[in-house]
Homo-oligomer: A and B are copies of this chain.
């Protein structure tokens, strides 16, 4: 009969202190993205198992929490494999559900469609510190906008949100899949080896130029190609704002016919527009080493780098051919995801407290106070609540000092005490 008190392996109970920060972030995020015309949508946590296992999810497909069939459809003793007993699974990201949602509802959705999704996803990853099997993702996507207005708006919406959440001095690192490809082609790598080259390039921040060269050669690539390739990156790293545009144009000149002209022009437009209109305190950085793992990106790619947090704190890009893979008809698409759990963690670590509108008051009411006297006290509380003050009504404990200390930890800074004999007050 006894419950196991612990949450299920790898998942966590969220305590009030963290929840307050999460609720605050959710509100700021919804409000800010809303001001950019993004509309919230929601899909079920459960998707048909076939939708989750069609190879769009890469390694995440190995981590699915699968759902057992029910009723007559389930035949355990006759089953030979998982496929025989499951019909659903918990979503491992919000992209597959978005694409399904869009194809299911496109007739009634505006075009372009600007979607905001905040929702939990589940992955049966090996449990480790700070990573949980249930976590919230926060994605914005624009479907049906072919121009780079999509990229600019996504970057501005995301950075404005981060700014309002109190983050500054971060970077948006930006690149283009077609620049990656042009650089590889220019250097003489064969087209079917690009993905392998990019996997090595992606390690640049960890192993440096020399490490990348060494790994390329070890992987059997021509040393001359490796040298030519690495020379392209010289002096570009961390080129910000106007310098980013200069570095980009210089690289485009070098690449010549390997890079379609419009790629350089479009990326320049995005960088210049963001630089000219940004409201948060961040730098936009052209980073030709930025790869981003997911191979479904077709154009611009970007990532948030936070000085306080080693790795990436979100990212995204253009994926113009993904909807088509599912529906048969391509739809231009571009998205940006912020690392919600990391943002909450960073706010917790810096001791962030959610600002109260009008403070918090605790009413300590001596035991025995009832009837009209109690109603009078409640009336006072109701008036304060109506003005936006948080009012907690509690019975007074014998150890009032300890009780107040505990309440102070919950953010109650003011106290009013009510006694049976009014004079004592």
B1–A325 CB distance below 8 A: yes
In Å, the complex CA distance between A1 and B77 comes to 30
What is the minimal beta-carbon distance from A106 to any residue of chain B, in angstroms? 9
Q: How far is the CA of A66 from the CA of B101 in the complex (A)?
A: 24
In-complex Cβ contact of A276 among B82, B370, B379, B388 (8 A): B379
**Chain A residues numbered 51-104 whose CB sits less than 8 Å from any CB in chain B:** 51, 54, 65-68, 70, 74, 76-77, 79-82, 84-88, 90, 96, 99-101, 103-104
User: What distance in Å separates the Cβ of A10 from its nearest Cβ neighbour in chain B?
Assistant: 9
Instruction: Kindly report which residue of chain B lies nearest to residue A37, judged by CB atoms.
Output: B392
A273 neighbours in B (Cβ, 8 Å): 374-375, 378
Given contacts A76-B85, A82-B68, A276-B372, contact A390 B34 (CB under 8 A): yes
Q: How far is the CB of A95 from chain B (nearest CB, A)?
A: 12
Are B70 and A67 neighbours in the complex by a CB distance under 8 Å? no
Asked whether B46 lies within 8 Å of A8 as measured between CB atoms, the reply is yes
B326 contacts A3, CB within 8 Å? yes
A103 surroundings in chain B (CB, below 8 A): 3, 5
- The one of B100, B276, B277, B367 in contact with A147, judged by C-beta atoms closer than 8 angstroms, is B367
Cβ–Cβ < 8 Å partners of A389 in chain B: 35
Q: Judging by beta carbons under 8 Å apart, are A390 and B37 in contact?
A: yes
Which residues from chain B contact A240 at a C-beta distance below 8 Å?
none
For the complex, give the distance between the alpha carbons of A327 and B269 in Å.
62
**How many positions in chain A have a CB within 8 Å of any CB in the partner chain?**
113
| CB within 8 Å for A153 and B393 given contacts A13-B41, A134-B44 | yes
> In the complex, A98 Cα to B105 Cα: how many Å?
36
With contacts A1-B325, A391-B37 taken as known, whether A13 is within 8 angstroms of B105 at the C-beta atoms is yes
The interface residues of chain B lying within 8 Å CB-to-CB of A15 are 41, 105, 108-109
Point out the residue from B5, B46, B74, B407 that lies within 8 Å of A100, measured CB to CB.
B5
Task: For residue A155, give the distance in angstroms from its CB to the closest CB of chain B.
Answer: 11
| Alpha-carbon gap, A385 to B399, bound state (A) | 50
Contact mask for chain A residues 363-396; partner B; CB cutoff 8 A; 1 contact, 0 none:
0010100111011001100100110111111110
Nearest B-chain residue to A111, judged by Cβ: B406
CA distance A378 to B6 in the complex (A): 50
The answer, yes or no, to whether A294 is at the interface (CB within 8 Å) is no
B379-A277 in contact (CB<8A): yes
The distance from the CB of A22 to the nearest CB of chain B, in whole angstroms, is: 8
What's the minimum C-beta distance from A414 to chain B, rounded to whole angstroms?
13
A7 interface contact, C-beta 8 A: yes
Q: In chain B, what residue has the closest Cβ to A142?
A: B394
Q: In the complex, A356 Cα to B14 Cα: how many Å?
A: 32
Nearest CB of chain B from residue A112's CB, rounded to whole Å: 6
Q: What separation, in Å, do the CA atoms of A280 and B3 have in the docked complex?
A: 39
In the complex, A20 has a CB within 8 A of chain B: yes
When A19-B40, A378-B277, A395-B149 are in contact, do A86 and B114 touch as well, CB less than 8 Å? no
